[in-house]
Each structure stands twice: as C-alpha cells, then as structure tokens.
C-alpha cells in the first residue's frame, strides 16, 4: 500500500469539496475560501494552456522560471503564474493568496493533478486531488502524515549546497539552490530511479510549494 493510501482521508466529491473539509480552525470564513478558490481555479485555467506533463520522467526539466508572473500587494498578497520547463513549456499553473499573518491559500495544477495548500502558523495542509496528504512544516521541511501523525518526508534545509528530499529514509530527489538571475536553472540536480506514484506526488507537491513561496516572498 502506497504512502498516500496510508495517510489519505478519502471523501466522496471533488478535490475542492475535500479541501474545504480538510481545513482546520479557519480564521477566514469558509464561504469566502470557497469563493476565492473557485476564482483562483478559473484564473489559473486562463493562463495555463497546453501544459506538458510533469511526472517522474519529466522532473529533470522543471525550472525556476515563472511565466505570466503577476504579484499584487494591497490589502492582501496575491501571486499567480506558470512554472515552466527549462524549454519554457508550461508545467505548473498556480495562484497564491495571503490573507493575514497566519493564513494563506495556494492552488496549483499540473497537467494531471491538482494541489491545494492551506497555510497556517508555519504549517501547510496539503491535499492532492482527493487525498489529504498531511501537514508540511515548511520551516523544518518536515511532512507529517495525515493519519499517522508521523514524519513521512523531509526536505533537508540545513544542507548549504542543495536540498535533499528524503521519503521514509530514502533520498528520492535533490533540489538545487537557485542561482541569482538564472531563472531557467533546473530545479533538481538528482531524482531517484524507480519512483512510486506516491513519491512522485510528494516530490512535486513540496517542490511547487517551495518555488511559489520563494517567488511570493521576493520584493
């Protein structure tokens, strides 16, 4: 049984419905979150046309480059764009909204998957399609499983040269630190062979979250 199957909370309905059910202790009204997420999905759909696949065989061409980048900051921070391959092909469309100092919402979409993140007090609740994966404690890089409450994966942020990603004791990928000005730099300098579907999904989820947060925090 895979990692997602072990930690998932499966509920009948769409990923949107499941995500709303998965958000604990909202400081923002659920109706507002529903409305915002619907808007975010629509806006991502508008800018994310003809995407190429992002899966285990294509991880090595994912880049830090963000096309159609738009950042607004008035009462709340809003960031959207399309993460491309090193060939500038669309691979991930995203929209991130920061409500206040503790709450944020990120929707991201690849050709075959949808990712939802509810950010609150140093953690991001992660839903992939219709599965609640768990909580990502992004300061420490630790992903805690939904049902087990135990560490499933860790992105090592203490390494000065790269960010090894460990899933259940195995290094499955290594994220390069972006070089200043080199936006078409590859994200990964290593991905393991024989990745499972679950490992692939976790790698993409955590990496996309980190890229978007890095882009949102600039400027």
- Token pair in block for residue 32: 């507002």
Residue 25, Ramachandran bin (φ over 0: left; ψ between -120 and 50: alpha; else beta): left
Long-range contacts of 100-103 (CB under 8 A, 24+ apart): 100/27, 100/28, 100/76, 102/27, 103/26, 103/27, 103/28
* Residue-level pLDDT at 182: 65
List, in sequence order, the alpha helices (H) in 114-161.
none
Percent of the chain scoring above 90 in pLDDT:
57
> Poorest-confidence range of 52-61, 119-128, 172-181?
172-181
Answer for the pair 28, 102: CB distance below 8 angstroms, yes or no: no
- Token pair in block for residue 177: 């630190």
Quick count: other Cβ atoms within 10 Å of Cβ 68? Answer: 13
77 three-state secondary structure: strand
pLDDT digits (tens, 9 = 90+) for 20-73: 666 666 566 677 888 888 899 999 999 999 999 999 999 999 999 999 999 887
* Residue-level pLDDT at 164: 96
- Bridge partner list, 96: 79, 106
* Residue-level pLDDT at 120: 87
The confidence band for 218, taking pLDDT boundaries of 50, 70 and 90, is confident
Distance CA 90, CA 85 (A): 7
Q: Across all residues in the chain, what is the average pLDDT?
A: 86
Side-by-side strand order, sheet with 62-73: 62-73, 77-85, 90-98, 103-109, 114-120, 123-128, 131-137, 142-145, 151-155, 162-167, 170-176, 188-191
pLDDT digits (tens, 9 = 90+) for 146-157: 878 899 999 999
The answer to pTM > 0.75 is: yes
Answer for the pair 15, 21: CB distance below 8 angstroms, yes or no: no
């Amino acid at each position: 049984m895979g990692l997602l199957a072990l930690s998932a909370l499966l509920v009948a309905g769409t990923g949107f419905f499941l995500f709303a059910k998965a958000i604990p202790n909202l400081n923002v009204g659920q109706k507002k979150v529903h409305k915002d997420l619907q808007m975010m999905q629509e806006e991502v759909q508008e800018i994310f046309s003809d995407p190429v696949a992002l899966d285990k065989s294509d991880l090595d061409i994912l880049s830090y480059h963000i096309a159609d980048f738009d950042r607004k900051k008035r009462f709340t921070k809003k960031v959207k764009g399309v993460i491309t391959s090193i060939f500038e092909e669309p691979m991930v469309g995203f929209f991130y909204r920061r409500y206040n100092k503790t709450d944020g919402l990120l929707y991201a979409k690849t050709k075959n998957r949808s990712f939802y993140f509810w950010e609150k007090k140093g953690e991001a609740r992660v839903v992939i399609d219709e599965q609640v994966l768990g909580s990502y404690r992004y300061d420490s890089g630790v992903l805690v499983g939904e049902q087990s409450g135990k560490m499933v994966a860790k992105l090592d942020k203490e390494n000065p040269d790269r960010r090894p990603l460990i899933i259940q004791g195995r290094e499955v990928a290594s994220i390069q630190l972006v070089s200043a000005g080199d936006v078409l730099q590859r994200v990964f300098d290593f991905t393991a062979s024989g990745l499972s579907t679950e490992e692939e999904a976790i790698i993409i989820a955590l990496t996309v979250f980190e890229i978007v947060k890095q882009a949102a925090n600039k400027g």
